[in-house]
Structure 1
Amino acid sequence: MKTVLIVEDEPINFRVFSKILTRRSGLNVKGTEDVEEAMKIAQAGDADIILMDACLAHSVYQGKPVDGIKMAQMLKADAQASNLPIIFVMPGNMMEGDCEALLKQSGADGYIKKPIVDPQQFVDQILALLPKDD
């Protein structure tokens, strides 16, 4: 069974995303806002895809604030985690061009805008980026 690592600093968002994913797709879900824990999970191969808040207002790594963009860059630069797909969760008020620019800057593989209006479309976007079994 595939596992989604949700990197989210708002507990209510984590609960909503987790419920939608487990109920509608049967995916396993892990969650953290801790940068080191997320890196360890990714490096160990304990997740198949990452759903990450682009803002991460409360996350810190080695004493410095880290947002989702920086964390995605760190993951994509890490040999053990670089192939892991990352989907950003973007604020709903961001313009499409800004979302595309953040994807390019971060190396992330896709994005979903909040609020989640269509739960099935949310699940389908994640399933589409999940690595296929060989």
Structure 2
Amino acid sequence: MDDAVRRRVLIVEDDPLSARIAAKILARLGYGVCAVIETGEDAVTGAALHAPDVVLMDINLAGAMDGVAAAKAIIESVGAPVIFLTAAMDRDIMDRVAATGAAGYIQKPVKLLDLKANLEMAITRRQRERPCPTDAVAALYRSLLFAVATACAAPLVVVDPEGRVLFSHPDNSIAGELFSEAFPGRPAFPQAGDTPCEDASGNLLGWVRLSP
């Protein structure tokens, strides 16, 4: 488990006992816990801030956003693999979980061997799909962007040239959505007051708009 020592896990769980059990098992496996979060809304923001290697996500959470919706937002915006923790799962929830592209799910109470297998499969799959150096740089930029936006205390949205939201502060749950769908009625292309993001050749990479 030498590689696991460098791996960081975000726990999203509103039951303190379950969170403690998961953290203890992770410690035995050599993984580090970067944060324990109780709500789906905070999980989306926390994933952008902490850039975890894996997210352990309870399905039933405190707050308006459940674990399935939070997982979908995290996968689309941050790219971190999500493993669900659940006491029971019916057909409707199974269908919603499958649609998120989650890396797996574990029945509660969490068992060491189940968690170990799911973590290793999730990380191996991510390494295969997205090279680690690229992930690390992207995670660093996301963390820096979140820190700057928080320090400025200014709501903003970053949009790519195709009109898709790359980042939004303070609520990043809309990342991955089309700007026109996330903000209906507002111009979905750069305006005079927006800030363009260009590469060294002057090609437009995206644009930033301060939210009202």
Contact 1:41 1:47 (C-alpha < 8 Å) held by counterparts:
no
- Normalised by the size of structure 1, how large is the TM-score? 0.76
Q: Aligned-pair distance for 1:121?
A: 2.5
Identify the residue that residue 62 of structure 1 maps to in structure 2: none
Query: Aligned AA for 2:83?
Result: I
Identify the residue that residue 196 of structure 2 maps to in structure 1: none
Find the residue that maps to 1:51 and give its secondary structure. strand
Find the residue that maps to 2:52 and give its secondary structure. coil
- Aligned: 1:127 with 2:127: no
Identify the residue that residue 21 of structure 2 maps to in structure 1: 16
Q: Aligned-pair distance for 1:90?
A: 1.6
Gaps of 5+ in 1: 60-64
Q: Aligned-pair distance for 1:99?
A: 5.4
Query: Aligned AA for 2:85?
Result: V
Give the superposed CA RMSD.
Answer: 2.1
Identify the residue that residue 89 of structure 1 maps to in structure 2: 85
Spell out structure 1 runs of 4+ moving beyond 4 A. Answer: none
Q: Could you say if the C-alpha distance between residues 13 and 115 of structure 1 is closer, same or farther in structure 2, counting changes exceeding 3 Å?
A: same
Gaps of 5+ in 2: 1-5, 134-212
- Aligned: 1:27 with 2:20: no
Q: Deviations over 1:38-72 (max 9, x none)?
A: 2233224531110000111x13xxxxx11101111
Find the residue that maps to 1:88 and give its secondary structure. strand
Q: Aligned-pair distance for 1:4?
A: 0.5
Query: Aligned AA for 2:89?
Result: M
Find the residue that maps to 1:50 and give its secondary structure. strand
Identify the residue that residue 97 of structure 2 maps to in structure 1: 103
Higher relative contact order (CA 8 A, sep 6+): 1
Q: Aligned-pair distance for 1:127?
A: 2.1
Q: For residues 122 and 77 of structure 1, what CA distance do their matches in structure 2 show?
A: 23
Identify the residue that residue 72 of structure 1 maps to in structure 2: 71
Identify the residue that residue 180 of structure 2 maps to in structure 1: none
Identify the residue that residue 47 of structure 2 maps to in structure 1: 42
Contact 1:6 1:52 (C-alpha < 8 Å) held by counterparts:
yes
Larger Rg: 2
Q: Aligned-pair distance for 1:107?
A: 3.2
Q: Could you say if the C-alpha distance between residues 74 and 12 of structure 1 is closer, same or farther in structure 2, counting changes exceeding 3 Å?
A: same
Query: Aligned AA for 1:27?
Result: Y
